Chain A
């Protein structure tokens, strides 16, 4: 067999064979499940309700069957010591001495905490320098921030960073004036301006951190494989403080690897792109992956929200392979701090994934990409299907009970048959749902020491399983809602993710989770009254719904999360021994920070009073093309309001208008310094008392 030294060496039938095997396994399990259900319904002839349930059962069961199939093949691959077709195996040995191709590392940001973002960037820069190949990489901070304070803080943080690292000319900052099309628009803006200067781009998220060695290896693997368009790494969730973050980071380590290996097993060079922690070949990306418009009646309908899957499909369609470097370490991200933030992200993903429907039937879309798109759609569509399926099942069961009572038959004929099909089906379903967790745990136990020891791994697995059972019904409720809202045409915009504040206060929890709680209580009452025999089976779902409020609060708790950490529960290797690139990412304690009033508008205070910050900001702006009298008097009135009434007096848009004008910013600085105390708002007097905000 030809060794896999280049991606081009991949046998043409390897992917087809594996996809056939994958579909046969998943399809076979689905057919087995469907036959079991059919044998249950066949006992007394198919009713209308049963036909409807059957129609829903097929995609629902198929979803878990294929999920299991991915995990199963992943387990087999990992148990056998890894896949022979792994893109990182094509790296030349010994490594090339020549520098890798010019690579731009793109960090699109949108109102993120500059302190955390720039600390991550600094670590990556230092880590990259340590490899000796740093000169091949430039960093671009691509800001779409629309909060004035954050904008100024970003600029100051950028200059501080460049001065500290002597990195002017290596780390660049770009602020878009018109932020259209979110992250994909921001990356496209980079491509238009500087894309031709670089061979590759590594796309990050604001919370992404990648080790220098990994960045270099990614560029080198692209050098070695000109036919590869995208290599996606498998970012590990780290730095979890809240219960939810710790749950997610542990889950990605326990079951994550087998799902990742299983994914690579079936798609090989037809992989997906997740939008971050991945390397792109820029030339074909700019040529073939410009996002098309969707069919739709309004401009908003036509814009693609979730760009990554589409870009992977377009790259593949253009003849380039997309690989998943699932075993590559040194790629990290952070998890959402609480359930509400996680759901906000899910709502965006749901809307984006449902839009991908158009590509499912588009001629030219490759088979592997159709499967990715289909799985992405089903991840959300199965939620309302499951709700309807449960409701139909309860109704059907109630009718049968009533009929049995009237005709003096046994309550449930399926339990008295020769073969307990329902038990078999229940057993099969539970196996498909939980076996991947145990397979993952089995592999994890081989590295138990890195996770705090065998006892802690087992305890962590049990805790993770319990939490996933309890959280699943809440997700079911919200996913159903998201699908319905999306179907009704209600859209969500690109919002900043809260990556820091964790705890959900009771009032917020009550407001957000009253819905699932009410549904849970109503469903429990209904089930207890109409179908009491089903109550035990429904209890895992009902418990999650009824306990939604305390669960949301508990999973957002950093105190409990930190207690887990202290006791060694849900521990990950990066907590046992923290890699250098993840160190010092937390800002120092707020001691010596500006007074609270100033702290709130710290960026604005620095802009107006600190000559350095003010000069940097002005130097970054373009001189206004036209300065009519009207504009000047408008900007003068804004400055006056700002100085006399404080920063609260101006709405964000007006402050941004002022900040985009270099002359106005210069005059603001001069006026703050030259105004007597009595004509300044207390905010500015307080800001002036602190001449040093750094």
Chain B
């Protein structure tokens, strides 16, 4: 049984702090306030499910809250969607994290922050304009015909048979030489 004074909650607090630091939450006072707020909430939830690890309890809460906010950043309605949340998170880091750190988790961010956010939805490529590339038949001339004829006639079986024949001829000649001339 883990209690709220358990060192495991220290670890959870530490992890929460890192999580917020990784999100570049500033100033520090706000970061600590958020961490403590979530920690208290997690402890309350933990009371109903004591088997749950404090880190899991605290960070699940934190990720759920942030994902919900990030989802809303890019779309006002609809359930929090992990992919939408990721897009929102990317935009947050591009537009808000440096210039408007105070906007983090703000349910109604300032209009300048929203304008910056809209311009920060980065593109990996411009609008597609498809072009089909058609491979043309190449005429390689007589060499191609010769090569095809050779490939059609070539077989390793023929090579092996010829090799075996010449080995046999060699040994026969050698045997004859040893018998009659040596």
- A binding-site residues for B, Cβ under 8 Å: 138, 140, 159, 162-163, 168-169, 172-174, 188, 191-197, 286, 288, 290-295, 297, 357-359, 361-364, 609-612, 614-616, 618-620, 623, 662-663, 666-667, 670, 673-677, 688, 691-692
Contact = CB atoms under 8 A, between A and B. Distances in A.
Contacts of A293: 135, 138
A54 B48 CA distance: 95
B133 A188 contact: yes
A196 B122 CA distance: 22
Interface of B: 8, 11, 15, 18-19, 21-23, 53-56, 59-60, 62-63, 70, 82-83, 85-90, 92-94, 97, 120, 122-144, 147-148, 151
A609 B125 CA distance: 26
A408 to B, nearest CB: 33
Contacts of A194: 125-126, 128-129
A292 B136 contact: yes
Given A292-B136, A295-B148, A663 B90 contact: no
B83 A662 contact: yes
A192 B133 CA distance: 7
Contacts, number: 153
A675 B55 contact: yes
Contact of B126 (A197, A673, A677): A197
A191 B138 CA distance: 21
Closest 6 CB pairs of A and B: A292-B138, A618-B86, A615-B89, A615-B90, A676-B53, A612-B93
B138 A169 contact: no
Given A192-B130, A192-B132, A363 B86 contact: no
Contacts of B92: 615
Contacts of A615: 70, 86-90, 92-93
Nearest to B133: A290
Given A191-B131, A675-B56, A691-B22, 20 more contacts: A168-B120, A168-B123, A174-B125, A196-B131, A290-B134, A292-B138, A358-B143, A363-B139, A611-B22, A611-B23, A611-B89, A612-B89, A618-B87, A618-B90, A662-B82, A673-B59, A673-B62, A674-B59, A676-B53, A691-B19
A364 B139 CA distance: 8
Nearest to B127: A197
Nearest to B132: A192
B142 A614 contact: no
A553 B143 CA distance: 44
A297 to B, nearest CB: 6
Contact of B82 (A163, A620, A666, A691): A666
B123 A169 contact: yes
A173 B22 contact: no
Given A358-B140, A619-B90, A292 B123 contact: no
A138 B147 CA distance: 45
Nearest to A173: B124
A609 to B, nearest CB: 7
A670 B127 CA distance: 32
15 contacts: A188-B133, A195-B129, A196-B129, A286-B133, A357-B143, A361-B142, A361-B143, A611-B93, A614-B86, A615-B70, A662-B86, A670-B63, A674-B55, A674-B59, A677-B55
A362 B140 contact: yes
A692 B24 CA distance: 10
Given A159-B94, A295-B147, A362-B138, A172 B53 contact: no
B148 to A, nearest CB: 7
Given A159-B122, A670-B63, A663 B83 contact: yes
A358 B139 CA distance: 10
B136 to A, nearest CB: 6
Contacts of B59: 673-674
Contacts of A670: 63
- The interface centre, meaning the residue of B97, B131, B138 with most chain A CB atoms within 10 A of its CB, is B138
A197 B127 CA distance: 9
A399 B131 CA distance: 66
A288 B135 CA distance: 8
Contacts of A188: 133
A677 B151 CA distance: 64
Nearest to A619: B90
A542 B59 CA distance: 69
Contacts of A169: 123, 126
Nearest to B90: A615
Contact of A163 (B88, B94, B135): B94
Contact of B83 (A358, A623, A675, A676): A623
- The interface centre, meaning the residue of A196, A295, A359, A609 with most chain B CB atoms within 10 A of its CB, is A295
Contacts of B15: 673, 688
Contacts of B90: 612, 615-616, 618-619
Contacts of B63: 670, 673-674
Contacts of B147: 295
A666 B25 CA distance: 20
